[in-house]
Amino acid sequence: MPFLAATADALKAPWFVPEPLAWADLPSRSRLGWILGIAVAVAFARSLARPRDALSALLLSHAAAGLAAAVAYGELAHPNGYRFAYLTSLSALAVSAGSLALFGAVPPERRRLAALTAVLLLAFAGARGAADACAAWPAARTTFDAFNGHETLTAEAILRWRTYGSVSIETPAGVSVVQSLVAQPRFLIPSPDPAGTAAGRSFRVAAAGDRGRPGERCVEHVQDPWGREWATVWGRRSR
C-alpha cells in the first residue's frame, strides 16, 4: 500500500497537490498551475498516443525517471519529492509542445489568434509566478514560520541593543542558532550606528511574557509583522 500510495501521489502531485513544505513554495500553489498544467497534460497525452516520436521518447523517459524517483522518495512531502518538476528545461519543453499541439488543432484561419492567446496566457503565468516568488512567498507568514524567522528577529534585536551595552541571551528555544546569527550577521538587517555607545548599561533578551527583575525596564517587545511576540528585551543601568 505505501508503494501504491506514493505512486498515486506522484502522478497527481505536479497538477493538483499544493506544496506541503512552506520553505519551498507557497502552500496554496501547485507546481504547474492550471495554465502550464493543461499544456503539459496535452504534451504527455500526445506522447502516449505517438510514443515513437523523438519528442515523445524524450518526455516519456524523463517522466518515467521522475516517477521512479518520486516513488523511491516515498509518501512524504509530495510534490517536493517529485523530481521531474525541478527539471525546468524539460518542463518548458513539455509546455511548448503542449501549446503547439493545442493551437495546431485549431483551424488554419484561427491559428494566429490561438497562438497569440497562448503566448498571453504563458506570459500571465510567468508574471504571476515571478510575483509569487519575489513578493508573495517572502512575505508570507507560512514562509516566516518555515524558516524560523523569530530567530532572525531575536538576533537582530540583540545586534541593535549590543551597540548600547552588553546583551545576555535567555530565550528558551533556538539559542544556538541565534548566537550563530549574531556571530556572523551577514544576512541580517544592519543595526543603527548611534553617535556613541552608552556605558554602564546591560540588556537581557528573555522569552516573551517574561517578567522583569528588580531594576530592569522593558525596552522592546520583539514581534513579527503579524503581531506575535517572540522575545522581550529588558534593560538596566549598571551600578
Per-residue pLDDT tens for 41-81?
A: 999 999 999 999 999 999 999 888 888 888 888 877 777 76
Same domain, 122 and 180: no
Other Cβ atoms closer than 10 A to 144: 19
Same domain, 50 and 128: yes
Same domain, 87 and 191: no
Same domain, 131 and 15: yes
Q: Which of 55, 47, 128 is nearest to 90 (CA)?
A: 55
Same domain, 51 and 155: no
- For residue 182, the cross-strand partners are none
Same domain, 44 and 110: yes
SS3 of residue 226 by DSSP:
coil
Stretch 153-167: mean pLDDT: 88
What domain range includes position 229?
148-237
* Residue in the block written with cell 516517477: 67
DSSP for 22-57?
TTTS-TT--SSHHHHHHHHHHHHHHHHHSTTSHHHH
Q: Which of 143, 177, 211 is the last residue of a domain?
A: 143
Percent of the chain with pLDDT over 70: 91
Tell me if 48 sits within 8 A of 60, measured CB to CB. Answer: yes
Residue 205 to residue 63: CA distance in whole angstroms: 52
Structural domains counted in the chain: 2
Q: Which of 119, 143, 167 is the last residue of a domain?
A: 143
What does the pLDDT look like over 87-135, one tens digit per residue? 678 889 999 999 999 988 889 999 899 999 999 999 999 999 899 989 9
Same domain, 121 and 7: yes
